[in-house]
């Protein structure tokens, strides 16, 4: 026991004398070899996963093994860590041949190295013969000393690493807060990582989840970075993409040299994978891989948290910017005020309307910028008891201070616990509604027009009937006279003239009767094309004589209408006659048709190449008896009749000028008449 006691004292002396592993481990190896009267020993340490053992130092060997050993293999027999006692393996070649070769002995003592509950490694001591029980017992404190030394070294390294990382993160947050820019901060980080790991270059790739891409966001040496700067997260070979899918850091020795390596570290956030750190040209020392990876993982953990916070901040800033942009591009005036009625937030539209820059507006009492009516509305909203019904106040008001008429909405502003803290005023400028008003007025006009027409129609129908009978009598007699020739020859021309004029009068009366709608509609299934074709056939000789070209596609397959075919022809004929008269000589009449739905209706456009409708004529063309033609030429009833007919069919007719000149008359007809015709 005396021998063991001396050994323990010297062990303690050694541990107290230095905490540098490079000095301590040779002494401890010496003690182990001496205690077991052995020749060689190897210290194996578990890697971070506990699955592999790596030789990190040795005694009496030519060179340190570099290959890893599986911890499930012969180096860790089942009872080793259960009993925490050294075990003698008589024939190591059976379970771990290569270790026995390195040690130079067929048998060995395996000593478990554990600190508290943590397994740290295995010390393999190569023995020529089986050691005594006493020798085995005396080597146990050496194992403890090994474990303690390793633990102490780890703790010291940890402290140092934590200090370095703290410095790194401090620089990072400083760079971020001074620039409010994520990449600037990350670049500072990359530069700081290089000396910590002895790397040539460090880069950080961030994960764009939506695009499923990894993007190079920062690098300690971005200038020399080769493309691509983006890789799909599913990429099988790109180091950054591969790292993202892993749980811990991985080291890949550089091809051709064993002194440098590539280390990739995943950055795992609280909820998602944030990205990866890629360190290139990391300098390796024999046996330093494990420690490097541990450091890299620790760095990864700490960076991930910091980077995630900054990425979140970046997201928040970005969405805040987007929100601001949206807020400012709203066409409505929006202003937020606190409970005292002071302005907290305004959008650009409000600033523009009040004619002041934002800086001058924010923090002012909102009342300063509003007319009394709006002030009252706001006061009402601010006075409402919280949670009262109908807390939203609405009104249409003219506000001279904001220069317009607005639909105002005041909504109470609540904080996160639903306490009222102010109000939001949204003002929609309804001044352009004047425009809508004008449209309504026009509609009213049209209504008046049809009412006028109806009244006039009744009146005209009465007269027309009265006139028609005597006229028919006159015409009948004249016809008879012409047929029999029962009048002096000298009167022939006069009779001719009387007949022509009477006939014209009869035509006018007929027109008047049509206009007055005294003829009942006889609805049939008719094709618009057939009606148009008839009209054009009627006018074809005149067109030829006047050099008028007709553009009319009859092949379109349009549905048939429920309409009075003769009336429809009459309406189109009146439009076509006007077009013809407007053109005079040489021109073109174009017909276009279209089918619209909701409700299903046909549109027929008839365009001519005449002089078009002057501004003073356009609004009056459908007025009965309105004509610009010389006396005796036009009655001014053609379009009034067309208007009446189309209206009776439940359709609409309108007149306009074509941008390229000429008039366009547009007729809309429902496919099915709605309800009964008047």
Per the CB < 8 A criterion, the answer to whether 217 and 241 are in contact is no
Interaction of residue 613 with ligand ATP, rule CB under 6 A: yes
Number of residues that bind Mg ion (CB under 5 A): 2
Nearest to 289 by CA among 101, 67, 131: 67
Stretch that binds Mg ion, among 269-277, 493-501, 558-566, 573-581 (CB under 5 A): 573-581
β 587-596/601-608 pair status: antiparallel
| Residue 90 structure tokens | 């008589």
Nearer to ligand ATP, 335 or 653 (CB): 653
100 binds ligand ATP (CB under 6 A): no
Name which of residues 636 to 665 contact ligand ATP (CB under 6 A): 636-640, 663
- Burial letters for 165-201: b for 16+ Cβ neighbours within 10 Å, e otherwise? beebbeebbebbeeeeebbebbbbbbbbbbebbebeb
First to last CA, the chain: 129
Closest approach, Cβ 525 to Mg ion, in A, equals: 29
Angstrom distance (rounded) from CA 581 to CA 140 = 125
641, burial (CB in 10 Å: exposed 0-12, middle 13-18, buried 19+):
buried
Q: Other CB atoms closer than 10 Å to residue 406's CB: what's the count?
A: 24
- Here the tokens at position 334 are 């929006």
Residue 497 C-beta: closest distance to ligand ATP, Å: 20
Pick the piece of the chain touching ligand ATP (CB under 6 A) from 8-16, 417-425, 597-605, 632-640.
632-640
Cα–Cα distance, 214 to 235 (Å, whole number)? 9
Q: Closest separation between CB of residue 630 and ligand ATP, Å?
A: 10
Closest Cα partner for 646 from 602, 609, 599?
602
Asked if 126 and 90 count as a contact pair (C-beta separation under 8 A), the reply is: no
| Window contacting ligand ATP (CB under 6 A); options: 87-95, 119-127, 265-273, 608-616 | 608-616
610 binds ligand ATP (CB under 6 A): yes
Residue 534 C-beta: closest distance to Mg ion, Å: 18
Q: Minimum Å distance from CB 450 to ligand ATP?
A: 15
Q: Are strands 587-596 and 548-552 parallel, antiparallel or unpaired?
A: parallel
List the single partner that 430 binds among Mg ion, ligand ATP, none, CB under 5 to 8 Å by kind.
none
The values of phi and psi at residue 579, to 5°, are -60, -45
- φ and ψ at 339, to 5 degrees? -65, -25
- What's the Rg (C-alpha) of the chain? 51
Q: Does 638 bind Mg ion (CB under 5 A)?
A: yes
Partner in contact with 671, chosen from Mg ion, ligand ATP, none, beta carbon below 5 to 8 Å by kind: none
Supply 370's token pair.
């509003």
HEC string of 643-667 equals: HHHHHHCCCEEEEEECCCCCEEEEE
The interface partner of residue 610, options being ligand ATP, Mg ion, none and the CB cut-off 5 to 8 Å by kind, is ligand ATP
Contact of residue 582 among Mg ion, ligand ATP, none (CB under 5-8 Å per partner type):
ligand ATP
Verify binding: residue 578, Mg ion, rule CB under 5 A.
yes
Q: Does 582 bind ligand ATP (CB under 6 A)?
A: yes
190 binds, among Mg ion, ligand ATP, none (CB under 5 to 8 A by kind): none
Single out the segment in contact with ligand ATP by CB under 6 A; choices: 122-130, 280-288, 560-568, 619-627. Answer: 619-627
DSSP string computed for 30-83: HHHHHHTT-SEEEEEEE-TTSSEEEEEEEES-SS---S-EETTSTTS-THIIII
Tokens 């009449």 correspond to: 589
Q: Which stretch binds ligand ATP (CB under 6 A): 7-15, 529-537, 595-603, 623-631?
A: 623-631
Residue 507 binding ligand ATP, by CB under 6 A: no
- The nearer residue to ligand ATP, 86 or 610, going by C-beta atoms, is 610
Specify the residue, 265 or 613, whose C-beta has the smaller distance to ligand ATP.
613
Nearest approach in angstroms of CB 548 to Mg ion is: 16
Among 81, 499, 543, 626, binds ligand ATP (CB under 6 A): 626
Q: Angle formed by the axes of helices 433-484 and 638-648, to 10°?
A: 110
- Tell me the residue number closest to ligand ATP, measured at CB: 638
570 is an interface residue for Mg ion by CB under 5 A: no
CB of 636 to Mg ion, least distance (A): 8
Closer by beta carbon to Mg ion, 274 or else 589: 589
Comparing CB distances to Mg ion, the nearer of 96 and 578 is 578
**What's the min distance (Å) between Cβ of 578 and Mg ion?**
4
7 binds, among ligand ATP, Mg ion, none (CB under 5 to 8 A by kind): none
282/201 Cα distance (integer angstroms): 8
Nearest-CB residue to Mg ion?
Answer: 638
Stretch that binds Mg ion, among 19-27, 346-354, 478-486, 630-638 (CB under 5 A): 630-638
d(CA 330, CA 323): 11
Least Å distance between CB 657 and ligand ATP?
A: 9
490 alpha-carbon distance from chain centroid: 92
Among 15, 421, 617, 671, binds ligand ATP (CB under 6 A): 617
Please identify, among the stretches 23-31, 291-299, 461-469, 624-632, the one whose residues bind ligand ATP according to the rule CB under 6 A: 624-632
Which of 627, 646, 648, 669 is the binder for ligand ATP (CB under 6 A)? Answer: 627
Angle between helices 182-197 and 289-329 (to 10 degrees): 170
The C-alpha atoms of residue 42 and residue 361 are separated, in whole angstroms, by: 78
Contact 44, 96 (CB under 8 A): no
* DSSP conformation class of 84: I
The dihedral sign for the CA sequence 624, 629, 635, 640: negative
Strand order in the sheet with 420-429: 343-346, 333-338, 420-429, 404-414, 393-399
**Rounded-to-integer distance, Cα 291 and Cα 271, Å:** 28
Q: What angle do CA 81, 85, 86 make, to 5 degrees?
A: 105
- Picked from ligand ATP, Mg ion, none, the partner binding residue 626 (CB below 5 to 8 A depending on kind) is ligand ATP
Which of the listed partners (Mg ion, ligand ATP, none) does 107 bind, with a CB threshold of 5 to 8 Å by partner kind?
none
Query: What is the DSSP code (8-state) at residue 346?
Result: E
635 binds ligand ATP (CB under 6 A): yes
- Compare residues 74 and 638 and give the one whose CB is closer to Mg ion: 638
Residues 549-578 interacting with ligand ATP (rule: CB under 6 A): 574, 578
Q: Residue 473 CB, nearest distance to ligand ATP (Å)?
A: 25
Distance of closest approach, residue 322 Cβ to ligand ATP, in angstroms: 55
**Rounded Cα gap, residues 86 and 60, in angstroms:** 20
The entry of Mg ion, ligand ATP, none that residue 628 binds, CB within 5 to 8 Å by partner kind: ligand ATP
Among 287, 634, 670, 673, binds ligand ATP (CB under 6 A): 634
Minimum Å gap between C-beta 478 and ligand ATP is 23
Binding residues for ligand ATP, how many (CB under 6 A)? 21
Select 303 or 639, whichever has its Cβ closest to Mg ion: 639
Distances (CA, A) of 57 to 92, 146, 249, 286, 655: 20, 11, 23, 9, 102
Q: Which stretch binds Mg ion (CB under 5 A): 21-29, 341-349, 451-459, 578-586?
A: 578-586
Which positions touch ligand ATP (CB under 6 A)?
574, 578-579, 582, 608, 610, 613, 617, 621, 626-629, 634-640, 663
Which positions touch Mg ion (CB under 5 A)?
578, 638
């Amino acid at each position: 026991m005396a021998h063991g006691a001396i050994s323990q004292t010297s062990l303690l002396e050694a541990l107290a004398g230095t905490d540098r592993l490079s000095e301590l481990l040779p002494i401890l190896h010496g003690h182990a070899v001496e205690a077991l009267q052995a020749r060689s020993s190897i210290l194996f340490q578990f890697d971070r996963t506990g699955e592999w053992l790596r030789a990190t130092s040795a005694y009496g060997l030519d060179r340190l093994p570099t290959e890893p050993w599986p911890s499930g293999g012969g180096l860790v027999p089942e009872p080793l860590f259960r009993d925490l006692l050294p075990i003698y393996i008589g024939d190591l070649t059976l379970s771990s041949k290569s270790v026995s070769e390195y040690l130079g002995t067929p048998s060995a003592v395996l000593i478990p190295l554990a600190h508290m509950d943590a397994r740290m490694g295995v010390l393999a001591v190569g023995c020529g013969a089986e050691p005594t029980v006493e020798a085995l017992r005396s080597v146990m404190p050496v194992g403890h000393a090994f474990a303690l030394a390793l633990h102490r070294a780890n703790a010291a390294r940890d402290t140092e690493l934590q200090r370095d990382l703290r410095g790194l993160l401090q620089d990072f947050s400083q760079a971020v807060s001074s620039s409010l820019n994520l990449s600037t901060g990350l670049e500072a980080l990359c530069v700081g990582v290089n000396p910590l790991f002895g790397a040539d270059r460090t880069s950080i790739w961030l994960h764009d989840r939506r695009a499923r891409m990894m993007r190079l966001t920062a690098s300690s040496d971005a200038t020399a970075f080769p493309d691509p700067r983006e890789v799909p997260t599913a990429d099988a070979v790109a180091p950054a993409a591969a790292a993202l899918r892993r749980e811990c850091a991985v080291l890949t020795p550089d091809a051709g040299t064993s002194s440098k390596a590539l280390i990739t570290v995943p950055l795992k956030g609280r909820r998602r994978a944030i990205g990866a750190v890629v360190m290139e040209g990391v300098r390796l020392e024999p046996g330093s891989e494990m420690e490097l990876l541990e450091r890299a993982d620790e760095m990864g953990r700490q960076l991930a948290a910091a980077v995630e916070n900054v990425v979140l901040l970046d997201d928040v800033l970005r969405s805040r910017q987007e929100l601001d942009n949206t807020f400012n591009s709203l066409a409505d005036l929006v202003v937020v005020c606190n409970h005292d009625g002071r302005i907290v937030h305004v959008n650009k539209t409000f600033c523009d309307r009040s004619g002041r820059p934002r800086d001058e507006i924010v923090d002012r009492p909102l009342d300063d910028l509003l007319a009394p009516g709006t002030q009252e509305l706001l006061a009402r909203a601010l006075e409402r008891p919280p949670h009262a019904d109908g807390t939203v106040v609405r009104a249409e008001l003219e506000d001279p201070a904001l220069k317009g008429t607005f639909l105002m909405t005041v909504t109470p502003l609540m904080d996160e616990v639903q306490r009222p803290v102010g109000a939001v005023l949204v003002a929609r400028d309804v001044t352009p509604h004047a425009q809508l008003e004008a449209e309504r007025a026009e509609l009213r006009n049209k209504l008046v027009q049809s009412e006028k027409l109806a009244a006039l129609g009744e009146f005209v129908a009465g007269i027309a009937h009265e006139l028609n009978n005597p006229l028919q009598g006159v015409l009948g007699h004249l016809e008879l006279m012409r047929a029999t020739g029962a009048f002096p020859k000298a009167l022939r021309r006069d009779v001719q003239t009387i007949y022509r004029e009477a006939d014209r009068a009869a035509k006018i009366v007929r027109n008047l009767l049509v206009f007055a709608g005294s003829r009942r509609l006889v609805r049939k299934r008719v094709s618009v094309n057939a009606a148009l074709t008839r009209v054009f056939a009627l006018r074809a000789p005149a067109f030829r004589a006047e050099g008028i070209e007709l553009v009319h596609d009859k092949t379109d397959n349009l549905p048939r209408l429920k309409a009075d075919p003769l009336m429809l022809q009459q309406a189109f004929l009146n439009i076509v006659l006007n077009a013809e008269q407007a053109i005079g000589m040489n021109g073109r009449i174009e017909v276009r048709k279209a089918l619209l739905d909701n409700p299903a209706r046909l549109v027929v456009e008839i365009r001519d190449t005449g002089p078009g409708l002057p501004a003073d004529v356009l609004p009056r063309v459908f007025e009965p008896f309105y004509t610009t033609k010389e006396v005796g030429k036009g009655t001014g009833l053609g379009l009034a009749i067309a208007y009446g007919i189309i209206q009776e069919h439940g359709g609409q007719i309108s007149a306009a000028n074509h941008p390229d000149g000429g008039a366009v008359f547009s007729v809309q007809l429902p496919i099915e008449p709605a309800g009964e015709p008047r």
